[in-house]
Chains A and B, each alone.
Chain A
Amino acid sequence: MTEKSIKKIEPAMKALPCLSRRSFLLAGTSATVVLAVGCAGISFREGTALKVVEYPRKRIASLKGIQAHEPIHFSYPEEGAAYDSFLVQLDGAAAGGVGVDDSIVAFNGTCTHMGGPLSGQYRSEHAVVGPCPLHLTTFDLRKHGMVVSGHGTETLPQVKLEIENGEIYATAVMGLIYGLDRNTVLERD
């Protein structure tokens, strides 16, 4: 984590180097992109509004190398324990899913209640991660990491994925990762 400290929160995102053209167009001069009603694909359908914050694009895996229900672990948007994330192919469509049937999703792997590790807690039958070993919170991976049961005061931060030429890339995060006041040092002065 950075040695720098933030002074103000609002303009912090302006320093981001990785604005996509689309997000820039949608959001004007701000880098935070609230994708509303029906802008793009299944995750952004009516009834929800997702704040998708883009970070430097990172290759996670090849589409060919994905086996259903076998989580792949990676760090995003930076390196370090807070950024431990996982990608998994579920049965059937998931919000924000990519690939076959929109079934591949990725999430941060730390519980939003008190920071418990969710690694090894994927439950394929129900497309759920959890229970968190600390206080038993479970998250629905089909529904943007919604709390199914338990205490998280935020959904599990979802890592936005894109596929290009058979490769899966992480491009953005939806939600604040446990332990942090912002998701990346890039956001600091």
Chain B
Amino acid sequence: MSNEHDGDKYIREDAVPLPPNDADVFTTGCDYCVAGCGYKVFRWPVSDENGGAKASENALGVDIPAPTLSGNWISPSMHNIVTADGEKQHVIVLPDPGMRHINKGGDHSIRGGCIAQKCYNPDTPTRDRLQYPRLRVNGKLERISWDDATEIMAQVSRYVLDEFGVHAWGMKTFSYEFWENTYAITKLAFRSVKTPCYSPHNQPGPGGDAIGLRDVGIDKFSASYDDWGSARVLFCSGTDPYETKTMIFNEYIKPAIDSGRQKVIYALPRATAGVAYAEKNGGLWLDLFPGTDTILHMAIIRIILENAWEDDKFIAKYTNNKWDTDSSFGQGTQNTPSQWQTTWGTFRVKDFDDYKKWVLSQKWAELDAASKVTGVSKEKILKAAEMLAKPVNERRPKASFGLEKGNYWSNNYTNSTSFACLGLVCGAGNRPGQMISSFGGHQRGELSAGGHPGAESPEKVNGGRTRPIDLDRWMVEGNLRFAWVIGTTWIQAMAGSVDLDNAFKRMTIEQASQITSTDVSSAVAALKKRIDDGGMMVVNSDIYPVAPIGTEYSDIVLPASGWGEHDFTRANGERRMRVFQGFYDAPGESKPDWWAVAQFAQKMGFEGYEWKDSNEVFEESARFSRGGRTDFYPIVWKAKKDGKKGHDLLSAYGTNGIQGPVRYEYEGLVGTKRLHDSTLTVPTPQGPTVVTKAQYAFDSHTGKANFIKSPWEIFGDFFDFIRPQGEELWVTNGRINEIWQSGFDDVLRRPYITERWPDNFLEIHPEDAAERGIESGDEVLCTSDRVPVQMGSGLVAEGSDLSFTGLQKKGLIKLTEARVPAVAVVTPAIKKGVTFMNFLRKTAAANALVPRVPDPISNRYRFKLGVAFVKKTGESEYKNDLNRMSFAPRTIS
């Protein structure tokens, strides 16, 4: 094991240049996690004089030394040299000390604090940025023109659509890298090509990620960050915000803990710094086995109900009674999209009493059984129920509930519904400090230019109903002839990735017909031949060469430009919208994805792709945001009225931005702090304003929340199969603080971070380690020969066939093998029986061990449920290295 960029070392710089008073200033946001911190950029030519150490002599207006917490210290990692306006210039990308929200006062994570290193600079490891379109000729990527690249793509696409139809033409793309790009991408896929073969980067098909919340009537991003801070009890499910949305912890949760106002309950199998700090300060760590959240939630709910601690006033006023429930022909329990698919009656209750009766009848909700399956002690479960709901001096605790992928990526539907119902029982969901939401992973940069043509999905169930496509399965089974992959590592990012990798190989480089010339007609002829033979053409748009899809399998690689190189927009996890301004020149011929989409679309003869700049895309896209959680149409409407550009008006809101949905009121723009806000009053809608029910009530047919059953049996057969057998251990996975996504910026091209994490790691409990003779720093191998993969695309199935047992009976579960190496970190911070590794190390993908059998209700993967034998294979080069990879615990408090 060794890193891809071993030649680049982290140099501990001893100085930074200070920006002079006349430096150009830009505003942007961090490109990484959902928190979306605000940043300021200072830029000045290297030929100019730097600023001085007195406040009057530098653009920060600060006397050096910058005081503690001033937000005005420029660390060497915040400095870079770029080309801007054709000239070498210094840039300082500084967490904005003027932030009143998110990263207040210039706080920052280790990810964002180093983001200046993201900028292209040929003297740094960013030197391998893709700069020119390339065509794979005789196995080697040769430079071609944008015109030829999009011509080849268009000719082949036209052939595929004519000969094989829209089901053979697919896209797999990021869903977050700015509205301008995702709007253009979805306009192409849904409105021009009209293909159902589309899937965002993190799931096998289109649609919501935690639809259990939706079915309860809750928008996944309804809370404001202030709600996390003002709760007296905060229930964090499946994540430690300290690690993965750091400012939510630093600036909202920690101050609340420190002031004695808040206790935090964490439900996840692994402790990190936030968990340790919470425990030290009266909080609780519910150390459950992966995938067992449903039972934990039900057990807590049962204790609350048995003690009559539920918030009966809230329940009576804000949740559906039996008349409300029966009145629905919209999105109520009777008719949720999930119900509609396969499962009449499985989840529906008439009202709270009906739900209560159901919970009390569930053997899994009994304390003994729940403790056994979840691995959480009975005392802790009881304590959690008390903390969340037991009145003190006749006052109910004010509790908020935040979840993330440890919850809904282990057992999607019932984990998220039971989580939401726990919140409802405690009176949360629609008021300050008492909210139920996702904390979020990536920022909210998806903007669909039209509905996904779901009716065209090849997945059918009985009754003629369709289910959203599982694009992975569809591709693996050889149905795609053309695939355009934009800004995502399709293979390693999805589940059962060895099988996926083999399918890509089979469909591309192992095909007989390969391109042998840069000549357009010759390349098109070779690709058509391959397609006739059953193969596939692959196009990969990205900023770097992505292994293996870009480096080995793609026929065309398109160079993308992105953050810092153009003006872009998107929202963070509390719907806070900002413009991310461009401040330096994109390298070579790299172009934003909306531009690449437009070139291709025009070659295809599609209309409506004549955008000149990203502001034009932004303005066109605005109307598709109407009525949604990030409705920004009033911004563009007002900008036009005022004779301004949409981007310019939003830019005026700076790094603090404005929270969607935006309303136009009395000549001004008003943001929305939280959704479902029972304290919200709005005037009669004015101008372009859309006031939706979701803004002031739950997002259901009645505006009241639904209780939804969460039967363990829906998942239990799969859980019994996947849980570790014999000597196996859980190999769960997740993000860590220092690394964003696949590490394309930090691990691969930031020597500071590479020194910390030169290789993938596996956290293992001391007792599990001792049984296997493993010490910190040892090289280990995780192996499994039973990674289940679901087969059978496009089959018409009975609902019951879609259960794991049903799939097994029909012979639609194939077992595959995977081997993932890592470096052991022995720590009691991981639950015994469970191990943990970073989720997307490209060279050792944790997802190779992860089942590719989506939740039958929601079509979402159970990414967290990897299982393997773990054995020592030797000592890693880091074990006795005093320079790389720390093995000290991350839970010191």
Closest to A188 in B: B53
Please give, as numbers and ranges, the residues of chain B lying within 8 Å of A180 by CB-CB distance.
64-66, 73
Interface contact B882-A175, CB-CB below 8 Å:
no
A147 touches B15 (CB 8 A): no
| A49 neighbours in B (Cβ, 8 Å) | 9-11
Note all chain B residues with C-beta closer than 8 A to A165.
none
* Interface size bracket, B side: 35 or more
Q: Which A residues from 96 to 127 make CB contacts under 8 A with B?
A: 110, 112-117, 123, 126-127
Q: How large is the interface on A (under 10, 10 to 19, 20 to 34, 35 or more residues)?
A: 35 or more
Q: Is the CB of A150 within 8 A of B11?
A: no
Q: A1-B64, A151-B108 in contact; A176/B882 too (CB < 8 A)?
A: no
Q: Which residue of A lies closest to B12 (CB)?
A: A175
A-B pair count, CB < 8 Å, reads: 206
Chain B residues near A (Cβ < 8 Å): 9-18, 49-50, 52-54, 57, 63-71, 73-78, 106-110, 113-114, 242, 246, 250, 254, 272-274, 277, 737-738, 752, 755-756, 881-886, 888-893
Q: A49-B11, A134-B69, A181-B17 are in contact. Are A112 and B49 (CB under 8 A)?
A: no
29 A-B contact pairs sorted by A residue (CB < 8 Å): A1-B65, A2-B53, A42-B882, A43-B883, A45-B883, A47-B881, A48-B884, A51-B11, A82-B65, A134-B69, A136-B242, A136-B254, A136-B277, A142-B886, A143-B885, A144-B882, A147-B738, A148-B886, A148-B888, A149-B891, A154-B75, A155-B10, A173-B14, A176-B16, A178-B68, A180-B73, A181-B17, A181-B18, A183-B14
Contact of B50 among A6, A112, A131, A136 (CB under 8 A): A6
> CB of A9 within 8 A of chain B?
yes
Question: Does any Cβ of B come within 8 Å of A146's Cβ?
Answer: yes
Q: Which of B12, B67, B273 contacts A150 (CB 8 A)?
A: B273
Nearest residue, chain A, Cβ from B49: A7
Minimum-distance CB pairs A-B, first 9: A5-B52, A179-B65, A115-B68, A95-B882, A175-B12, A49-B9, A153-B113, A149-B890, A48-B883
Which residue of the partner chain B has the closest CB to A102? Answer: B882
- A residues bordering B, Cβ < 8 Å? 1-9, 12, 32, 34, 42-43, 45, 47-51, 53, 80-82, 93-95, 110, 112-117, 123, 126-128, 130-131, 134-136, 138, 140, 142-144, 146-155, 157-158, 173-176, 178-183, 187-188
Interchain CB contact under 8 A, A5 and B54: yes
Distance to closest chain B CB from A22 (angstroms): 18
Chain B residues with Cβ below 8 Å from A93 are 882
Q: Which residue of B is nearest A180, CB measured?
A: B65
Question: Do A53 and B14 form a contact, CB below 8 Å, given A114-B107, A116-B68?
Answer: yes
Decide: A9 and B50 in contact? CB cutoff 8 A: yes
Main secondary structure of the interface of B (DSSP, over half): loop
Among A94, A128, A136, A154, the residue within 8 A (CB) of B888 is A128
Q: Give chain A nearest CB distance to B124 CB in angstroms.
A: 14
Find the residue from B16, B78, B273 having the highest chain A CB count within 10 A: B273
Q: Are A135 and B66 in touch, CB under 8 angstroms?
A: no
Residues of A within 8 A of B888 (CB): 126-128, 138, 140, 142, 148
Are the C-beta atoms of B14 and A176 separated by less than 8 Å?
Answer: yes
Q: Hey, which chain B residues are within 8 Å of A175, CB to CB? A: 12-14
Which of A80, A93, A116, A150 has its CB near the most chain B CB atoms (within 10 A)? A150
Nearest CB of B to A102, in Å: 9
Taken together as a complex, chains A and B put the C-alpha atoms of A5 and B55 apart, in Å, by: 10
Q: Which of A12, A32, A80, A152 contacts B110 (CB 8 A)?
A: A152
